[in-house]
Structure 1
Amino acid sequence: FCVISPVYFVLGVAFPMYAHYFIIIASIHAGYCLPDFLFAWKLLKAPRSCIIDQAQDEFDILVDQTSSS
């Protein structure tokens, strides 16, 4: 996201007659990156002493309740 989207914005500035196409492509790209942003946000908010279990299409944050007492 941090590499591809700025390229589209620079191309939009460089070619103003095609800027709407570049902005549309950048917004579609941002939409494709949204699940990755949500995954990273949940990982950052997870406790340090947790275990991340990733299945095929989802992940679980496992927290050990016995050690937190």
Structure 2
Amino acid sequence: MDQARGILAEIEALPVTAAAQLIRDRAAEAVAERFAEAARLARGADPGRWQSPATVYPSHPERGLGPSL
């Protein structure tokens, strides 16, 4: 509750446009935090689903590519 009062006092001390921008910024941060938490939980529920696939390399060099010997 004290934190909320501090934030409110900070907002009230600002000019209207700056206060509006601060509110938008804080809202965007909250959304990003919720999204990151949801992603973390999803990865924890199915870790194999979020791993990058192995890079596939050709078994032999392609003709015409690379340095000529």
Between Structure 1 and Structure 2, the one with more strand by share is 1
- TM-score interval, normalised by the smaller of the two chains: 0.3 to 0.5
Between Structure 1 and Structure 2, the one with more helix by share is 2
TM-score w.r.t. the length of structure 1 is: 0.39
Instruction: Please identify the structure whose Cα radius of gyration is greater.
Output: 2
